[in-house]
Amino acid sequence: MAKEFTVPPVVFPSGGNPGTGLQQRRLPTAPFQPPRSANLPFMSFDVGSATASSSFSAPVFGGNTVGIGGTGFEEELPLLEELGINTRQIWRKTVSIMNPFRVNANLHEDSDLSGPFLFLMAFGLFQLLAGKLHFGILLGWVTVAALFLYVVFNMLAGRNGNLDLYRCLSLLGYCMFPMVILSAFSLFIPQGGMGIFIVTAIFVLWSTRVCTRLLVELASCGDEHRGLIAYACFLIYMLFSLLVIF
């Protein structure tokens, strides 16, 4: 005789039958979101809050401060003074050379090469207008002439000579100003005539007198050998005048 087993009833959590329970689907849960932090806005997924709480600020271009030092544009030195070019000093030296009988040697104690370079470029420009390209020749001749005058003066002065090459080149270049005027006048004077030779002799004597006086007054032991120094200066400026004549 077989035993009968009692099967307990199956109770579903939803309270329905098995057919309806299989049709139900579980709702998707929200994805994991990290906790928002007030100190780190870039960790937040909220774009609006990250933009509002960002610690980066745009640079401010207003104000009187410039750069790290905090100096304004008004306190900046001019470009020519930063390069060591004093236009007022160059003008004063040029004006002093224009009068060969009253040359102020005190203005030429501070030597510079800005004025001589300007005069050489002006001389070469006037020669270029005359159809002569002499820029390289001018720079070479000025260098050789300064070395020649420096050696001659120190040989005459001996151990007591205090003329350095930098000052010699500065004085020689500033005294080229009459040669620049001669180069400008030669554009309007007929070449090959007697007038060009007379005008050239006047400007050569002008440059020779000015250069000799500056060398004698600014360098020691030059007064005793004034004639020989003048002869050396005459040869130098006569050489430059030949570029104008021929």
Question: pLDDT tens, 105-121?
Answer: 888 988 899 999 999 99
Q: Is the pLDDT of residue 22 over 80?
A: no
Distance CA(52)–CA(32), nearest Å, equals: 24
Query: Quick one: average pLDDT of 215-238?
Result: 88
β-sheet bridge partners, residue 71: 66
pTM: 0.67
Secondary structure string (H, E, C) spanning the chain: CCCCCCCCCCCCCCCCCHHHHHHCCCCCCCCCCCCCCCCCHHHCCCHHHHHHCCCCCCCCCCCCCECCCCECHHHCCCHHHHCCCCHHHHHHHHHHHHCCCCCCHHHHCCCCCHHHHHHHHHHHHHHHHCCCCCHHHHHHHHHHHHHHHHHHHHHHHHHHCCCCHHHHHHHHHHCCHHHHHHHHHCCCCCCCCHHHHHHHHHHHHHHHHHHHHHHHHHCCCCCCCHHHHHHHHHHHHHHHHHHHHC
Residue 113 near residue 169 (C-beta atoms within 8 A): yes
Domain boundaries, the chain: 103-245
Q: Nearest 5°: phi and psi at 48?
A: -65, -45
**Contact present, 112 and 142 (Cβ < 8 Å):** no
Candidate ranges 33-42, 221-230, 235-244; pick with highest mean pLDDT:
235-244
Query: Could you read off the pLDDT of 118-156 as tens digits, one per residue?
Result: 999 999 999 999 999 999 999 999 999 999 999 988 888
Return d(Cα 241, Cα 186) in angstroms, integer. Answer: 10
188-218 pLDDT, tens digit per residue, is: 998 888 999 999 999 999 999 999 999 988 8
